[in-house]
Amino acid sequence: MIGFIIIAAVAALAFAAINYYGVKRKDPGTSEMQQISGAIQEGARAFLRHEYSVILKVVIIIAILLGVVVSVTSAFAFILGAVMSASAGWIGMNIATISNVRVSNEARLTKSLGKTLRVAFRGGSVMGLAVGGFALLGLAIVYFVFGVLLNQVAPENLVFHTNWLGISDIPFTMTISAYALGCSIIAMFNRVGGGIYTKAADMGADLVGKTEAGIPEDDPRNPATIADNVGDNVGDVAGLGSDLLESYVGALVSAMILAAYIYFSQGNISATLVSKLIYAPLLVAAVGILSSMVGILFLLVKKVSSDPHKELNAATFMGAGLTIASSAVISYLVFKGEALGEIGFALGAFSPWVCAVLGIVSGIIIGQIAEYYTSYDYRPTQKISSSSQEGPALTITQGMSVGMISVIGPVLVLGVAIIAANMTAGLYGVAMAAIGMLSFVTVTVSVDTYGPIADNAGGISEMAKLHPEVRGITDELDAVGNTTAAIGKGFAIGSATLAALSLFSSYLYAQAGETVAHGVDMILNMVNPLTLVGALVGGALPYLFSGILIEAVANAARKMVQEVRRQFKADPGIIQGTSLPDYTTCISISSAGALSEMKIPALISVATPLVTGFIFGAEFVGGLLIGTTLSSVMLALYTANAGGAWDNGKKYVEHGHFGGKGSNAHKAAVVGDTVGDPLKDTVGPSLDILIKIMAIVSVISVSIFSKYNLFALFM
């Protein structure tokens, strides 16, 4: 069993290596194209090196604390999770900066949308395969080394153990929780730091270049354009990959933790069954990776049409379809012959599979809803474009309306999925639904990463002054990429909601500790003033978190705007094309802004449950988790969809509607896009990480602050 899981993970990484070198062998184009690409690559690598040096200090501190307060095994698992997530982010960033110029050159040489799509997707697939491979390989190592070799999943060890500080918990749940926390820490820094970087550069380039100077997007005369293209790689690639890897791991870990607590609390199920409940999620993930590999290979070897949206959907649906079929086989083979009625499996051996399918179907529906509200092929985004004719105010107002309306659909879908999964297999079923939603994450991330690669290719085409037809090809690919990115964010937010519910249940088990008895429901008393106030604070926290992120982007963007204006004023030859702008200063502004501003949001996500727990206790933190989860889900859906709609509304105008490029409608649409930039690429993606970091930190620490808190001491 464990061998099959490791083989699947290693196969994904091997396929990633094959595609990596397959892209690298492609012709990188003219010397000017290579020079531009080299500058983007060096800027992205420099930023990520600086960011990882900051993260390294944080990882060391947290690992030491875990080793002292919880266990040495949890410290090692935490470090492994951080390494796996950081590795995926680094590889994804590297392949994106290698692919971009080759995508541009493919469009230049072939003038074929289909062939260019294949190169961009091959580059994106490296990130997708790395995310799935590293996440699963790390979890397999944790399960095998700590669970099997160190005997943490043995029945006699799936009980509460007390460490030297008197802290009591189930060792295996702490170990895999620490692994998930390691992934989450990297995801938070990559998403926040990368998001601040990319949006500061993007806003500065758009506000001065497009609206004031009237020059095209990615024009080489714009000093911020290299920084903008660097940002696509550190934010939309490294950040996105770490984000979905963290979501993937969080979903898997939530099911494994619940299985351990179910065994301890019920006690009447066999040791064999609990072992199966723990490793079944890993098997589903393994067949999901293999299915995704088939979907990726299908797009790479078939004759690609000139409809990128259709081709990308075909790869995604093939991966999803094969995952549904193969996970049915896994569910039956693993659980057949077991007494499943005792743990609430209503449909026998197929119960976990039904829940996974509920997650897959709900994820696809949420993706389709996101597509409807963010693609310029549909009325909501077209209405934003039309509103641009009346100026920026109505553009922003219409976009806000679209974003707010878009929230209810995904929430209803999630609600139905949660109720149905709980009826089928209890809270374990809810966790399996989260796993199902991300079971084909490898192909999902591949499709998502293709978008920033195409965007960068367009920038290189513009800066290298290639034929407008080349930019037309890359723009069409980029427009589809904006929609696929919105769909990917929908999957991440949806799975975060399902995983957070499962982790919250684990939190209640951990809070109850050894007092939990067979048949006792885990209940949080919402009438308790501490719980209610915690929920109120939790509901407000995502707004504080989001506000800090938006202000961070605004501060860095303000400096960028001032620098671009200064260069245009100091050297009129830049606009005339007789002088070269200073790209390096703009890269430095984005880097400095991101590195200085990313620490506080990351600290909030980790420190809030700890500080409030040690002051007010477990009931307060329970309410905090409920409030944060509910508020974050709504805010994340709103910001992701509104930002995506504003972006594609601008592109709809640029394709010749309502006056096209250079018109007043276009200037208004650019303002709307600029408002949406920090929402869709910084705030929205960071909120789903906030949910899971707070839940994981709470699960790890609740056994401590439930005993030791100031409120209990003085009241």
Distance CA 84, CA 80 (A): 6
Distance CA 58, CA 124 (A): 29
**Residue 431: half-sphere exposure toward Cβ, Cα within 13 Å:** 27
According to DSSP, the residues that pair with 109 across neighbouring strands are none
Distance CA 380, CA 373 (A): 6
pLDDT tens by residue, 231-245: 777 877 888 788 888
For 205, residues 6+ apart whose C-beta sits below 8 A from its C-beta are: 217, 218, 222, 224, 225, 227, 228, 560, 564
Widest CA span of the chain, in angstroms?
80
DSSP line for 121-134: HHHHHHHHHHHHHH
Residue with tokens 């005369």: 221
Confidence at residue 515, expressed as pLDDT on a 0 to 100 scale: 64
Q: Which amino acid is at 714?
A: F
Distance CA 676, CA 195 (A): 12
Asked if 334 and 283 touch (Cβ cutoff 8 Å), the reply is yes
Distance CA 226, CA 216 (A): 14
Distance CA 351, CA 343 (A): 11
Tokens of 588: 């430095």
Distance CA 639, CA 653 (A): 21
Confidence at residue 483, expressed as pLDDT on a 0 to 100 scale: 65
Low-confidence stretches of the chain (pLDDT beneath 50): none
Distance CA 552, CA 177 (A): 30
Confidence at residue 587, expressed as pLDDT on a 0 to 100 scale: 82
For residue 439, the tally of other CB atoms under 10 A from its CB is 35
DSSP line for 327-395: HHHHHHHHHTTS--GGGT-TTGGGHHHHHHHHHHHHHHHHHHHHHHHH-TTSHHHHHHHHHGGG-HHHH
Confidence at residue 545, expressed as pLDDT on a 0 to 100 scale: 94
Confidence at residue 395, expressed as pLDDT on a 0 to 100 scale: 94
Is residue 609 helix, strand or coil? Answer: helix
Give whole-number Cα distances, 207 to 263, 459, 472, 649, 668, in Å: 58, 17, 22, 16, 11
Confidence at residue 263, expressed as pLDDT on a 0 to 100 scale: 73
Distance CA 694, CA 91 (A): 27
Confidence at residue 482, expressed as pLDDT on a 0 to 100 scale: 61
- Shortest CA distance to 499 belongs to which of 398, 345, 632? 632
pLDDT tens by residue, 293-327: 999 998 888 877 777 878 888 888 888 899 999 99
Scored b (16 or more CB within 10 A) or e, 108-132 reads beeeebbbbbbbbbbbbbbbbbbbb
Distance CA 353, CA 280 (A): 10
Q: How far is CA 490 from the centre of its chain?
A: 10
Tokens of 521: 């429901």
Distance CA 27, CA 485 (A): 27
- Tell whether pTM > 0.75: yes
Strands (E), 124-265: 161-162, 168-169
Confidence at residue 317, expressed as pLDDT on a 0 to 100 scale: 84
Asked if 642 and 679 touch (Cβ cutoff 8 Å), the reply is yes
Q: How far is CA 303 from the centre of its chain?
A: 31
Average pLDDT along the chain: 86
As to burial, measured by CB atoms within 10 angstroms (0-12 exposed, 13-18 middle, 19+ buried), residue 42 is: middle
Q: Which amino acid is at 338?
A: E
Asked if 267 and 472 touch (Cβ cutoff 8 Å), the reply is no
